[in-house]
C-alpha cells in the first residue's frame, strides 16, 4: 500500500556526456576522439533519462558500452563531460560531501580491504554519515543495522571477519552498508556478479521490494539481461554511445533489446524474454 506521506523523488540526467578527461593518469584510458588528440574520450553523450522512486531501473548494455562509467559519473566519482545529473532538481556533483553521503549510496565492483573488521562492523559504517563526531551508534541506529542485516539474511554470520566471507556474502554486506545509510538513491554496479543463480533472482526481487517499500530510487547495472527484463520496472539501454530508456516491454517491442544483444549464434525471443540458439 502506498504511503500518502511519501515524497516522490527523481534522478534526472539532462544533456549528459560521460567519459574521461585527458589529464594525468587518465591520458592512458580510453580511445581519443578523431581529430581531437588532446580532447576527452567520450563514452556516451546526449543522455536524457530519468529514474523515479519506488522503481528499479536496470542499466543494460554489452561489455565495454560504458555502464560503470555512467554510474560513476552520475554519483560524482568522476566528472561529467557535459550536462547535469540531478536528484530532486539538485546537481549531485555539487552537493556537499556530507549531504551526498546521506542521500546517495553506492555499491561498486571494486574490492575492499576491511582489515580485521567483522561483517557487522563493515555494514554499520553506513550509519556514520548520520552519526555524531564520536561515531558511536545510538540504540535506534543499532536497530536499523539489525533490521537490515536480518532482511538480507546476513545476521547469522555478521560476527565473522569480512575477509573470511565468500564473495556472495561480502556482496550482501556491502549492500547492507548501503541500505543502512537510508539513502534516497541507491546505485549498484553489477551486484549479482558473485552470486549463484538462485541468489541473483532473490537479490533482484529484494531490490524491487525495497524500492517499493522505502520509496528508493534504485539504479542497477547488470549483465543478467533476461532477469532484468523480468524484474525491473524500467531500463536504460546503453550502446554505441547512446542511452535509450523505457519499460522492458517497450524496449522489447521496439526491437532495441534484440538489436543490441542478438548475435549470429543467439536470437532473442520477445514472448519468453529469453535468448535461444539460432
Residue that terminates a domain, selected from 163, 183, 203: 183
Q: Does residue 193 share a domain with residue 80?
A: yes
Does 125 or 22 have the greater pLDDT score? 125
268's grid cell = 532473442
Q: Does residue 77 share a domain with residue 115?
A: no
Instruction: Quote the domain boundaries for residue 134.
Output: 111-183
89-112: per-residue pLDDT in tens?
999 999 999 999 999 999 988 777
153-194: per-residue pLDDT in tens?
899 999 999 999 988 889 889 999 999 999 999 999 998 887
pTM flag (> 0.85)? yes
Residue that terminates a domain, selected from 130, 163, 183: 183
Amino acid at each position: 500500500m502506498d504511503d500518502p506521506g511519501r515524497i516522490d523523488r527523481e534522478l534526472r540526467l539532462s544533456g549528459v556526456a560521460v567519459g574521461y578527461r585527458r589529464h594525468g593518469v587518465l591520458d592512458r584510458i580510453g580511445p581519443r576522439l578523431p581529430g581531437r588528440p588532446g580532447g576527452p574520450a567520450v563514452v556516451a553523450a546526449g543522455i536524457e533519462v530519468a529514474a523515479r522512486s519506488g522503481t528499479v531501473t536496470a542499466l543494460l548494455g554489452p561489455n565495454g558500452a560504458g555502464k560503470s562509467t555512467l554510474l560513476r559519473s552520475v554519483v560524482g566519482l568522476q566528472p561529467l563531460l557535459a550536462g547535469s545529473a540531478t536528484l530532486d532538481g539538485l546537481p549531485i556533483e555539487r552537493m556537499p560531501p556530507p549531504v551526498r553521503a546521506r542521500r546517495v549510496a553506492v555499491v561498486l565492483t571494486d574490492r575492499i580491504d576491511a582489515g580485521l573488521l567483522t561483517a557487522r562492523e563493515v555494514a554499520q559504517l553506513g550509519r556514520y554519515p548520520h552519526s555524531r563526531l564520536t561515531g558511536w551508534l545510538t540504540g535506534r541506529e543499532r536497530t536499523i543495522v539489525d533490521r537490515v542485516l536480518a532482511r538480507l539474511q546476513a545476521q547469522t554470520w555478521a560476527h565473522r571477519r569480512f575477509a573470511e566471507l565468500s564473495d556472495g556474502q561480502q556482496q550482501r554486506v556491502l549492500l547492507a552498508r548501503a541500505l543502512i545509510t537510508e539513502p534516497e538513491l541507491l546505485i549498484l554496479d553489477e551486484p549479482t556478479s558473485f552470486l549463484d543463480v538462485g541468489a541473483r533472482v532473490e537479490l533482484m526481487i529484494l531490490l524491487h521490494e525495497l524500492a517499493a517499500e522505502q520509496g528508493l530510487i534504485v539504479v542497477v547495472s547488470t549483465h543478467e539481461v533476461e532477469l532484468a527484463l523480468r524484474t525491473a520496472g524500467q531500463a536504460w539501454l546503453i550502446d554505441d554511445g547512446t542511452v535509450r530508456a523505457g519499460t522492458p516491454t517497450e524496449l522489447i517491442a521496439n526491437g532495441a533489446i534484440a538489436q543490441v544483444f542478438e548475435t549470429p549464434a543467439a536470437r532473442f525471443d520477445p514472448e519468453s524474454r529469453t535468448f535461444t540458439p539460432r
